[in-house]
Amino acid sequence: MRVTIAGSSGLIGTALVQALRADGHTAVRLVRRPAEHADEVQWSPDRALDPSVLDGSDAVVNLCGASLGDRRWSGAYKQELRNSRVEPTEVLAEAAARAGVPVMISGSAVGYYGDTGDAKVDENTPAGDGFLADLCRDWEAAAATAADGGVRVVNIRTALVLASNGGILSRLLPLYKFVLGGRLGDGCQYFPWISLTDHIRAVRFLLDNDDLSGPVNLTGPAPVTNREFNAVMARVVGRPAPWIVPGFMLKALVGEFADEAILSGQRAIPAKLERAGFNFEHNTLREALEAELRHRQ
Ligand SMILES: NC(=O)c1ccc[n+]([C@@H]2O[C@H](COP(=O)([O-])OP(=O)(O)OC[C@H]3O[C@@H](n4cnc5c(N)ncnc54)[C@H](OP(=O)(O)O)[C@@H]3O)[C@@H](O)[C@H]2O)c1
C-alpha cells in the first residue's frame, strides 16, 4: 500500500510512518520544508497541490495542525489554529479527488462535540458550541470536495492521544513525578483518551475497512473524568496527586484554552469502531498509561 501523509513529522504522523514501513508499505511524506529524502515531496498547505503528486497513492492521511496548547489563544493564534487545519484539508481533498485516490483519512477531534457534561456522545451527536467545535466542523467540511469526488473520506474525531514520547503525557508526567499532579477545576469534566498504539491501529483499520466513512471517534472505550484521570495517573506513577487547581487560576494562566479544552470535555465513545469489530489493545486508562510508561523505560 502507498500512503501519502501530511503533518507526518508530528506525534501521530511519526508513529504512523514507522508502523506502515515496518509492515512493508510505502509512506510518502508531504513536507513544508524542501524535500531531503526520496520519500519526501515538498508542498505548501495553502496552495493547490499538483494531483500527480498523489498518482499511485492508495490513501491520503491528513494530520496537519498547529499545536493547540503551545501559546495563549490570541485572535491571530486562533486564526492560525484554524488555517493550519482547514486550508491543508481543502488542498488535499481537492488533489485527492482529482487524482482519484480511493481513501482520505482526515484529522478532526472530539472537540467537535463541545462541552457535553456526562452525557455519552457518539458519531450521531451533533456539533457543539465554542471555538473548537466550530473549528472541527469547518475542518471536517473542508474534506467534502474529496467525498463529492468519490473518495472515501473518514474524519477521525481524535481524543487526547497518550504516548510515552510526546503529547499531553510528556507534559503531565514530570508534574506527577514531582508530586505536582492534581485535579483541574471540579474534576467532573470528561477526558476522553486513546493510546497512541490504538490510534495508529485504528487509522490502519480505517484504511483497510472500505465500509467505514464519515466521522469516526478515535477514543478509547472507557473515557474518564478529570478526577479519575488524576487518580489513575497518581496510581500508575506511584506518587500522590493531592492538588486542586481551581478553574479561575487555569483561566488566568491560559485564558480561553482553559474553558475550551481543560475545564470542559466529552464523554465520547468509539461507537463506529466497536460496531465494526475493532479490538482495542488498551481498554482502560490504566492499561494505556502502564503500556506507554513501559515504552519510556
Ligand atoms: N495528539 C492529540 O492528543 C490530538 C488530539 C486530537 C486531535 N489531534 C489532531 O491530530 C493531528 C495530528 O496530531 P499530532 O499530535 O501528531 O500533532 P503534532 O505533533 O502537533 O503534529 C502536527 C503536524 O502538523 C504540521 N503542522 C504544524 N503546524 C502547521 C501549520 N501551521 N500548517 C500546516 N501544518 C502544520 C506539522 O507537520 P509537518 O511539519 O510535517 O508539516 C506537525 O508535525 C492534528 O491535527 C491534531 O490537532 C491530536
**Residue whose C-alpha is closest to residue 114's, from 261, 247, 269:** 261
The H or E element containing residue 70 is: none
Nearest ligand 1 atom to alpha carbon 167:
1
Task: Give the total number of structural domains in the chain.
Answer: 1
Give the model confidence (pLDDT) of 205-220 as tens digits.
Answer: 999 999 999 999 999 9
**Residue whose C-alpha is closest to residue 108's, from 211, 209, 203, 207:** 203
What is the extent of the structural domain holding 90? 2-296
H-helix segments, 142-277: 144-148, 167-177, 196-208, 226-237, 247-254, 256-257, 271-275
Strand, helix or coil for residue 39: coil
Cα(161)–Cα(244) distance, integer angstroms: 23
Cα(290)–Cα(76) distance, integer angstroms: 38
Residue 277 per-residue DSSP state? T
- Ligand 1, atom 37, residue with closest C-alpha: 7
Kindly indicate the confidence band of residue 294, based on its pLDDT and cuts at 50, 70 and 90.
confident
Residue 213 per-residue DSSP state? -
Give the model confidence (pLDDT) of 101-158 as tens digits.
Answer: 999 999 999 999 999 999 999 999 999 999 999 999 999 999 999 999 999 999 999 9
| Residue 126 confidence (pLDDT) | 98
CB 186 within 8 A of CB 117: no
The domain that holds 131 is classified in CATH as 3.40.50.720
**Residue whose C-alpha is closest to residue 64's, from 107, 22, 97:** 107
Nearest ligand 1 atom to alpha carbon 160:
3
Ligand 1 center to 7 CA (angstroms): 6
Predicted structure pTM score: 0.97
Strand, helix or coil for residue 258: helix
Kindly indicate the confidence band of residue 293, based on its pLDDT and cuts at 50, 70 and 90.
confident
* Contacts (Cβ under 8 Å, ≥6 apart) of 82: 135, 138
Q: Over 80: is that where the pLDDT of 296 sits?
A: no
Q: How many CB atoms lie within 10 A of CB 216?
A: 26
Q: Over 80: is that where the pLDDT of 295 sits?
A: no
Q: Over 90: is that where the pLDDT of 297 sits?
A: no
| Residue 193 confidence (pLDDT) | 98
* Residue with grid cell 452525557, as numbered in its chain: 119
Q: Over 90: is that where the pLDDT of 164 sits?
A: no
Pick from 9, 63, 170 the residue to mutate for probing ligand 1's pocket: most ligand atoms within 8 Å of its CB: 63
- Ligand 1, atom 43, residue with closest C-alpha: 10
- Ligand 1, atom 19, residue with closest C-alpha: 10
Give the model confidence (pLDDT) of 272-283 as tens digits.
Answer: 999 999 999 999
State the average pLDDT over residues 157-163.
Answer: 97
Q: Over 70: is that where the pLDDT of 47 sits?
A: yes
Q: Which residues line ligand 1 (CB under 6 A)?
A: 7-13, 31-32, 45, 63-67, 84-85, 88, 107, 109, 158, 160-161, 167
Q: Which residues of 116-140 are buried (b: 16+ CB within 10 A; e: fewer)?
A: beeeebbbebeebebbbbbbbbebb
